[in-house]
Structure 1
Amino acid sequence: MLKRIALAASLALALAACQDENLAGGSTRHLSPIPPATMALMSTKGMSKNDPILIRAYKKESELEVWKRGSNGKYALLKTYPICRWSGQLGPKTREGDRQVPEGFYAVTPAQMNPNSAYYLSFDTGYPNAYDRSFGRNGGDIMVHGSCSSRGCFAMTDQNIAEIYAIARESFASGQRAFQFQSYPFRMTPENLAKHRLDTNIAFWKNLKEGSDTFEISKEEVQVSVANRRYQFNADSEVASAVAQKQRHDEQEVADLVSKGMKPIKLVYHDGDTHESFRTALANASGVTDTKLGFVSRTEGIASGPQQIALDDSGREKIETPAPALAFASMKEVPAEAPKPKVVAAAQPAASAPAPSSEETPFYKKMFGNVADLFSAPSQPAAESVQAAPAAIAPAARIPAKPQKRADAASGLKLAQVRN
């Protein structure tokens, strides 16, 4: 009984999120400085390490962006990092153990930073938020961390999480109380929306797009609230007007793409994905510890990327079936009774073949004449189908007399049809 309880507890941990536990000892990896190259990049963009940050993540593209507020008070993209591993499918997280990476708008405070993470370094995204709780969604411990292994988290390389952690640490040290973490299924482009227009999550994704558009127009942290199980994005009238205009433009572009033949699709992942730059390395890692990537989980599911499934107009998976004419033709290719060696002899040109005698003419041909042609086999000589595999024909000496007679009759009928 105790063993069963222990097994159940172990299974529950395996199905849960990343379960980031603190490592014993006094690691100083969380104190690593921002790399000089990144500091120089900040300088060229009019930013400093003390400026607030904002992070955006995209599952389909497997990319995470760090934005910083510049000297003009607006956020600008600092750097894009490839995501080494995320798990689940496109769509929101709904329950504990579903291996889903959440989608939505979250807030990360200094208390959510873990300097002693079992995954090198990490920070908690803040799932579930007010929106998730309004749907009764549960689970937790959804993080951005190192080590290329995910059970519902964004897994980065150790080197990249160290850099992101250092950037966030300096912003907190300079007074930022929380940074916004925006998580999307994909980049909110008209092309992506057109392709995924029949997905069951499309209404939710369009709601996320409102927030994405608000940020991209204002370049300020989006003010988010929840009402009637929807995200509400509070912006001044000028920004709201520009967002509405952008939405109309994008909707028209979606309609144009559809009218030009863009088909609806569904992407099905084995268990999440990785950035293209890691695909070859992960395919060779096979669930072991890689010197560059750390521990790699479930490599068999991400070697080739997701499966793209075509949908019909109702949003169901489209099943390709052969045309009826082709199916009927394939049925006629195999006769009910295979021709015997007499048909092989008939493979000679029809002009040189002797005329069939009256004894070889079937009785129904004698009685009904050409009317029987309506019920006979196709006019294609049977010999042509036999020539494709002559080795399969047995020697004449081994064929019993009775089948030979039927073959002779069939041969006579075929030849008569050819002549007719």
Structure 2
Amino acid sequence: MGKEQAIGDSRAQSLANHGNHERRHGWAWALAGTAILSILLAGCGAPTPKATLSQTGEYFAESEYGVKASPRIASVATSEIPRGGGRYKLGKPYQVKGRWYKPADDPDYVAEGKASWYGAAFHGRLTANGEIYDMAHLTAAHPTLPLPSYARVTNLDNGSSVIVRVNDRGPFAHGRIIDLSKRAAELLDYRNAGIANVRVEYVGPAPLHGQDAQFLLASYRPGGALPDPSDGLPTGVMVAMNGPTPSQPVSQAVAALAEQAAPISLDGGVALPAVGPLVPDRPTEPPVQAGAVELALLSYADRRVSRAASAFDAVLDSQLDSRAVIDWWERRNGAQTPDEIAAPYINLGTWASRAEAERLTRALAELGRPVLKETVGPGGKVYVASLLPDGEADLDAMLRAAWAAGALDAFAVRD
């Protein structure tokens, strides 16, 4: 019995040691699992990096301009910009920086001049007819063409051309005649140069739905290519032409074949490619160094209010009323007029009635600083109204409010 008892005690001790060993291993694995779980939870709690765009030459800071930049309707990096959504708009004559522009639906419109392009600084913002600007779409801003409409733009330096959707107003600087989107500038090969000599030809009105990306891309014509009568037209549309279709010149006459041509089945249509040719990659050129730009500072005290000026009426000559005091103060201090307003601001339009213009500016006074100027337009005396940001409301909100108040021709000047 003693021997058996000793063997039993030894076996029990061995089992106990084995159990302790297993428990130690179990605690070790539990601690390791807890550490791994903590790391995973910490990783899940960390914020996901957001895609960002680098600042371009168009970038403007609120501290520099003294006003808030208008918010983007769509995200720059992730959102797909919706097409269309605007309205047909021609508009009355308007004035920007002392120059009059008269919108017109002229089917024979052709003009040559300088073209620029605009990109990330305006991407996702409202256009003059209520669409949303997409720098990756083939669009353009023009001062007088109907909105929206189509125009063929040809780079006179290399011969390439493309049809663009005109859905915005501008440009209003340096005598340029059109402002293209970044994508259109890439197709015409002047994105790096910034400026190009172009010809602009009006094509016709564009549909409001804006689903024309394939149609516009198919209209691209590289430099040196011969004109195609079907350029820019949907599949199946035929064009009546007075004369032969342009083709490659033939060096000598070709004798007619005696054999009768085999019949051609007309049951099925010809399958055309869904998209047009893509522009090959080109070596990147160094960006053009922009010169210094002088910006007019916005001020909250560049006008005397009538109530303050009228306090002097009792002691002034009868012919020197409060209006004359205000005019004298503006001339003395160089107050800005609508001809000299620095962008950004809202061009509300022109009115023949001062009372109507004042009614509109009073309705919008809570959103910004209204400016009303009497001047002589193409048809005689008119009143030009503008709305300057005061840092409280953004440009897009001001533009929507102007449309809602009845200024249907209002648009944002972001130059």
TM range (shorter): under 0.3
Normalized per residue, the structure richer in helix is 1
TM-score (norm 2): 0.22
Instruction: Return the TM-score normalized by structure 1.
Output: 0.22
